Amino acid sequence: MADANPFVDPLRFARRVPPCAVVIFGANGDLTMRKLMPALYRIHYEGRMPASFAVIGTSRTAMTDEAFRAKMRASVEKFLEDSPFERDVWESFEPNLFYEAGDVADAGFYARLAARLAVAEGSSGTAGNVLFYLSTQPSHYATVVRGIGEARLAEGAGWRRLVVEKPFGHDLDSARKLDDAIHEVFPEASVYRIDHYLGKETVQNILAFRFGNGIFEPLWNRRYVNYVQITAAESIGVEGRGSYYQETGALRDMIQNHLLQVMATVGMEPSNIFEAGAVRDERAKFLRSVRPIKTSDVDKYAVAGQYGPSRAGGVETPGFREEPGVDAETQTDTYAAVTFYVDNWRWAGVPFYVRTGKRLPKRVTDIAIQFNSAPHSLFAVGGEDGRASARPNLLIMRIQPEEGISLRFMSKYPGSGMKLRPVSMDFSYGSSFGTRTPTAYETLLVDALSGDATLYTRQDMVEASWRAVGPILDVWSGRRFDFPNYSAGTWGPAESDDMLARNGHFWRIP
Ligand code: BG6
C-alpha cells in the first residue's frame, strides 16, 4: 500500500530501489544470465539503484568474485535488450557483485552467506535489507528456504523478502507443500511469487486500456463479447532445456501460470484502487471462477500436441523426441490448447480459448476479443474484388512483438453503392511513445525491492490456477498419445482446430 514506505510510488514513475543486498540462488543459471543480471545492470544504468547495494550470486560451482563478475559482464553484454552496454556504467556496477559457492543442503553454506551479508551491511551499507531470489532447480526451493531459516537469515535489522521463480509446485498438492515450507520461514507479506508476464508492459496496459478509459468497459462482458482467444506462440524449440521441459510440458510451463494470469487481466473486475491487496483480490476472484473441467470432458475442452521433425524449406528441424535430454517415447505436450469457461455474471457462457506451443510458425503473443456481429445486416459486403466477407468487430491486444492494439471494424468501400469491407484502427507502442520499454524483470525487480507486490501472484491465485488445469493434467498423465501430432513450423494439431469448430469458431492466424 502507498503508505509510510517512501519507496512505494503509487504511480510507479521514477521508482527507486532502497539500499539492499540481493542474494541470487542459482546465479550460474540461464535466468540469471539472460534476465536478472541484465535487468539489475539496466536499473543501475538508469540511476535507480541506491548508492549502496550488493548482489551476491550463489550456486554449486566454485568461482571467485572476479570470475563471477567477468561471467556476468559477458552475459549482460550479450543479453541486454534494446539498450547499450556502457563500460563506465559497468565499472561502477561491477564492484557490487560478489559470489559464494555452496551446496544448498549444507549448513556451512548459509553461515558463509551470513558472513557475506554482514560484510555487505557494513561496507556496502545495505541497511540489513535483503532480497533472496530463488532461481535454482525448483526441487531445491524448500531446502534453500529451510537453510535460510535455520541460519536466521530471514530476520534482522532491515526487511527480508523472498522472490520465488516459477514453477510454483508441480500440481496443487506440491504447490501447497511448497507454500507451507516457505511460510515456516517467511510471512506471506514477504513472499513475492514471480510471473514475469505480469511485469510485461503490454500486459499492464490491458488494465490501463480497460480501466483508464470509459468506452470499452461497458462492452466487456457476455452481452457483447462472443469469445476471447489468447495465443502465446513460440517459434523456438526447447533450446537445451529438454530434460526440464520433458517433466513440465506446455500446459504447466505456460498456461497454468502466464496465460491464466493474462486471462485474469482480461477478465477481472476493476479494483477500487491500484494497490497490491485490492488488485490481487480481483485477480484471485476471477481465477476462482474459472470452471475446472470435469475429467470426463477433458477431451472436449483440451488438446495436447507434440512437434515432430520437419524439413520445411529444406531446413531440417528435429522433433521434440530427438532433442537432447528427451526420451524417444516421451508423452510430454509441447503444445496445449484449452477452452475455459468462467462461471460469473460477466462471462457466463463466453469461451476463453487459450493456446501455446513450441515450434509454431512464429513468435507472437496476443489476445483477440471477438465481439458479437451486428444484429441485422443492412449492407452488401465485399471490397473491390467482392471477396471479403462480413466480419464481427475484433479487438487485438498484441503483447509481443510489435506491441500494440488494433480494432477491426467494417467500413464503406469507396465508390457508388454501399459495399463494406473490414479495416483496422491501429495503435503501436513503438510509434506512439518512442521510448524504451523496460523488460518485465526490470519492472518486477524494482517492485519487489521497493515492497510492491501488485504485479506478483499470490498463493490463492496459484492454487486456483492449479485447480483449473488439474483435471487436464490428471487425464493427460495417464494417457498414451499418438505423438508427434504436428510438424515443427505449423500451427499445432488438427484437433485444436476441431475443438473451436465445434463452437463454430476458428483460431486466427496472428
Ligand atoms: C518461461 C517458459 O516461463 O516463459 C519458457 O518457461 C518460455 O518455456 C518463456 O519460453 C516465454 O517467455 P517470453 O517472455 O519470451 O514470452
pLDDT mean values, one per 10 residues, the chain (510 residues) = 45 74 95 96 92 94 96 95 89 96 96 94 88 94 97 94 95 97 96 96 94 96 98 91 89 97 97 90 97 96 97 88 93 97 98 97 97 83 58 94 93 84 91 87 95 94 97 96 95 98 95
Q: What does DSSP assign to residue 67?
A: H
Please give the number of the atom of ligand 1 that sits closest to the Cα of 245.
Answer: 8
Q: What is the pTM of this model?
A: 0.93
In the structure, which protein residues have their CB atom closer than 6 angstroms to any atom of ligand 1?
Answer: 234, 253, 365
Question: Residue 6's pLDDT is what?
Answer: 47
Question: Residue 416's pLDDT is what?
Answer: 80
Residue 355 phi, psi dihedral angles, 5° rounding: -140, 150
Helix ranges (DSSP H) in 242-397: 242-250, 260-267, 276-289, 298-301
For residue 354, how far is its CA from the centre of ligand 1 (angstroms)? 15
Residue 419, beta-bridge partner list: 380
Task: Examine the residue annotation and report whether 258 is marked as an active-site residue of this protein.
Answer: yes
First to last CA, the chain: 38
Question: Residue 497's pLDDT is what?
Answer: 98
For residue 257, how far is its CA from the centre of ligand 1 (angstroms)? 11
The Cα-based distances of 80 to 44, 54, 84, 99, 170 in angstroms read 13, 20, 7, 21, 31
For residue 125, how far is its CA from the centre of ligand 1 (angstroms)? 35
For residue 200, the tally of other CB atoms under 10 A from its CB is 24
- The residue to mutate among 170, 203, 234, 332, having the most atoms of ligand 1 within 8 angstroms of its beta carbon, is 234
What cell was used for 63? 568461482
Task: Please name which of 207, 250, 208 lies closest in space to residue 232, comparing C-alpha atoms.
Answer: 250
Q: Is 349 exposed, middle or buried (0-12, 13-18, 19+ CB in 10 A)?
A: exposed
Residue 24, beta-bridge partner list: 57, 133
Please, are residues 320 and 307 in contact by the beta-carbon 8 Å criterion? Answer: yes
For residue 258, how far is its CA from the centre of ligand 1 (angstroms)? 9
What cell was used for 42? 539496466
For residue 332, the tally of other CB atoms under 10 A from its CB is 24
Residue 308 phi, psi dihedral angles, 5° rounding: -105, 180
Please, are residues 97 and 84 in contact by the beta-carbon 8 Å criterion? Answer: no
Query: How far is Cα 153 from Cα 187, in angstroms, rounded to an integer?
Result: 13
Query: How far is Cα 309 from Cα 296, in angstroms, rounded to an integer?
Result: 32
The Cα-based distances of 208 to 213, 285, 448 in angstroms read 7, 20, 21
For residue 164, how far is its CA from the centre of ligand 1 (angstroms)? 16
Query: How far is Cα 257 from Cα 32, in angstroms, rounded to an integer?
Result: 20
Question: Residue 435's pLDDT is what?
Answer: 81
> What contacts 155, CB < 8 A, 6 or more positions away?
none
Residue labelled with grid coordinates 463466453: 350
b/e code 481-507 from CB counts within 10 Å (16+ = b): eebbbbbbbbbbbeebbebbeeeebeb
Number of residues in the chain: 510
Question: Residue 361's pLDDT is what?
Answer: 95
- The residue to mutate among 34, 193, 196, having the most atoms of ligand 1 within 8 angstroms of its beta carbon, is 196
Sheet containing strand 380-381, edge to edge, reads 302-305, 335-340, 352-357, 225-233, 364-371, 394-400, 404-412, 419-428, 380-381
Please, are residues 448 and 161 in contact by the beta-carbon 8 Å criterion? Answer: yes
- The residue to mutate among 254, 307, 323, 400, having the most atoms of ligand 1 within 8 angstroms of its beta carbon, is 254
Please, are residues 460 and 281 in contact by the beta-carbon 8 Å criterion? Answer: no
Task: Please name which of 498, 499, 492 lies closest in space to residue 305, comparing C-alpha atoms.
Answer: 492
Nearest-CA residue for atom 6 of ligand 1 = 253
The alpha-carbon radius of gyration of the chain (Å, integer) is 24
b/e code 244-278 from CB counts within 10 Å (16+ = b): ebbebbbbbbbbbbbbbbbbbbbbbeebeeebbee
Please give the number of the atom of ligand 1 that sits closest to the Cα of 232.
Answer: 16
